[in-house]
Amino acid sequence: MDVKRRGPMGIELVKRGVVTEDDLQTALDYQKTHPKEKLGDIIHELKLCDSYRLIEAIADVFGEKAMLIRPSDVKIKIDEYISPDVLRQNSAVLFDVEDGKAKVCFSDTANRKAIDTIRLLLLNRGLVMEKYISFKSNIDEVLASFEGKISDKIGVGSDTTEMVDSIIKTAMDRRASDIHFEPMEDNLRIRYRIDGQLFEVAEIAKDKQQQIIGRLKAISNMHQEKQESQDGRIIIYPEYNIRVSSQKNVYGEKFVLRLLKKNGNVKEIFDLGFPKDETLVKNSFDKINSVTIMAAPTGEGKTTTLYSVINYLNRPEINITTIEDPVEIRIPGLNQIEIDAKTSFIDSLRTVLRQDPDIILVGEIRDKETAEIAMQAGQTGHYVLSTIHTIDAIEVITRLRKMGLSNYDISSTVATTVSQRLVRRLCKDCAKERDFTKEELNLIHSIEEKNNVKFNLEGKKTYDPVGCPKCNGVGYYERIGIFEVLLFDEKIRELIGQGESTLKIKEEAMNRGYKPLIIDGINKVLSGDTTLEELNRKLRIY
């Protein structure tokens, strides 16, 4: 609620006679230990004054309409126009639709992103938004009453075993990649990560927290009494291998479950979003006596892409071995090794080299020793694929240098580095076509100029996410990769061998056809796969 106003909110409330100076000081003292809470919400929670007078005064300060929203005020089916996930994410409640107007309560009318998100979704349904302001606790109460009803689906009212089981199974049904069990001050929050975005799905009473933690420890084979960080696995669901991580915070132990399908289908590399160029695929991945490295931050699909590459290369006459932690997808014809507490990537890689492999997939290059053995394997007749955590394909060189590898080893052994990001794919069932705005075209032209490229903009349209039952009202469904590829030709190898900076290497690579992530990203926007807003979320282009 922090926007330009006639004075600080507390002073305005005292001037209007809503609270006394002592009440204000009480609220300010409370805010010191709860800095994320708005002052008005705190005064409301502490019951320092009449709630109706308070919200009326706050609304007057902001020039908004006030409402103490309750579940009984909702006159429509709450998920008919916008999904509960989106409403909760933007702390809003759509409570009535009449004569082309959609009435929406927000907890923060200064949050322009939230306001614009809801307004756009409603405009795409032909509705004009009428804005109200209410307290966050009221909005949370309304959403908790109506949205389930996810809470009902995950069995919040059932016994602990059933509750944990239904939380996990509901996450599977909703295509979640991760489940977060997060102890808060007054409750246990449950969130799902779907297509890279976190959505709060339930709040569970604090008195059930220890029972749920106990159940999670039991099924993931963790020590019950130990509160330090632990790692475990849940194997009771036939189709999933679930990795579990616990971490103590100030309100208890937080658990994150990573859901991995045991026998998921390996997609063709072009289906993942890799540029549709057979020659580029062959030049990037069909190698011998070398190393190819996939680079990206955590959770950006590096391993999934390597599975597609392995599937592309897999032939009966080739011996392919993978070393993974864990084996995420089992592929017929491969020798797949899963490391455990007694082994490591290094130990497994040394053993694999004595197993007559042609191609080796090493899940991750984490340290100098693993990197050195991977390079040795590449220099002795093998083709090695692996991943590394860097921001782009060029920075792989810097990362390997910092690990202690020589410029000679890097330049003579690495054949290709590939970087990627995952952006949400527009839902084809509800995306709405429109012309690019002048500002959007100016942005694209500036990217053209900066990267010395030319996009085909003739007749191109863009699309807005709308929201429908298929995508749970989000407007996006699944994700697609954006890629950049750095091929180590003789000139690039020469610069690396001479110890040149990555800035100089990038300049030369750009002259030789290297295209940064943003180029493929804009092409994905122009093909209607994603949006500039989604691209900006990953690459910060404006």
Same domain, residue pair 343 and 491 = yes
**470 is a domain residue:** no
Helix axes 517-526, 438-451, angle to 10 degrees: 150
Same domain, residue pair 302 and 380 = yes
State both tokens at 340: 């455990």
Burial class of residue 36 (count of CB atoms within 10 Å of its CB; 0-12, 13-18, 19+): exposed
Same domain, residue pair 44 and 33 = yes
CATH number, domain containing residue 182: 3.30.450.90
8 Å CB contact between 219 and 234: yes
Same domain, residue pair 202 and 297 = no
Same domain, residue pair 112 and 163 = no
**525 is a domain residue:** no
Burial class of residue 340 (count of CB atoms within 10 Å of its CB; 0-12, 13-18, 19+): exposed
Distance (Å, rounded) from C-alpha 160 to C-alpha 210?
10
CATH number, domain containing residue 401: 3.40.50.300
What number of residues does the chain have? 542
**473 is a domain residue:** no
**455 is a domain residue:** no
State both tokens at 167: 């939380």
With a CB cutoff of 8 Å and minimum separation 6, the contacts of 180 are: 189, 190, 191, 192, 193, 198, 254, 255, 256
How many separate domains does the chain show?
Answer: 4
**3 is a domain residue:** no
CATH number, domain containing residue 98: 3.30.300.160
**14 is a domain residue:** yes
With a CB cutoff of 8 Å and minimum separation 6, the contacts of 486 are: 393, 394, 396, 416, 417, 418, 492, 509, 514
User: What's the N-to-C CA distance of the chain in angstroms?
Assistant: 25
Distance (Å, rounded) from C-alpha 81 to C-alpha 482?
31
Same domain, residue pair 132 and 154 = no
Write out the chain's pLDDT in tens, 542 residues: 344 445 688 888 898 888 899 888 998 988 888 888 889 899 988 889 888 899 999 999 888 999 989 887 888 877 678 877 788 888 999 999 988 899 999 999 888 888 988 988 888 788 899 999 999 988 988 887 664 445 555 555 568 888 899 899 989 988 899 999 999 999 999 999 999 888 888 888 899 999 999 999 999 999 998 888 999 999 899 888 899 999 999 999 999 999 988 766 788 999 999 999 999 999 999 888 999 999 999 889 998 999 999 989 998 899 999 998 878 777 888 899 988 767 777 888 888 988 899 999 998 998 999 999 999 999 988 999 999 999 999 999 999 999 999 999 999 999 999 999 999 999 998 899 999 999 999 999 999 999 999 999 999 999 998 887 778 778 899 999 999 999 999 999 999 999 999 999 999 999 999 999 999 999 999 999 999 999 999 999 98
Identify which of 501, 521, 477 has the alpha carbon closest to the alpha carbon of residue 85: 477
**463 is a domain residue:** no
Same domain, residue pair 393 and 334 = yes
pTM for the full predicted model: 0.71
Same domain, residue pair 110 and 36 = no
User: Which of these three, 261, 293, 325, is where a domain ends?
Assistant: 261
Same domain, residue pair 172 and 297 = no
8 Å CB contact between 62 and 5: yes
Taking CA 446 as the corner, what is the angle to CA 440 and CA 452, rounded to the nearest 5 degrees?
Answer: 135
Same domain, residue pair 354 and 418 = yes
**377 is a domain residue:** yes
Same domain, residue pair 307 and 417 = yes
Same domain, residue pair 354 and 404 = yes
For residue 128, what are the domain limits?
A: 71-146
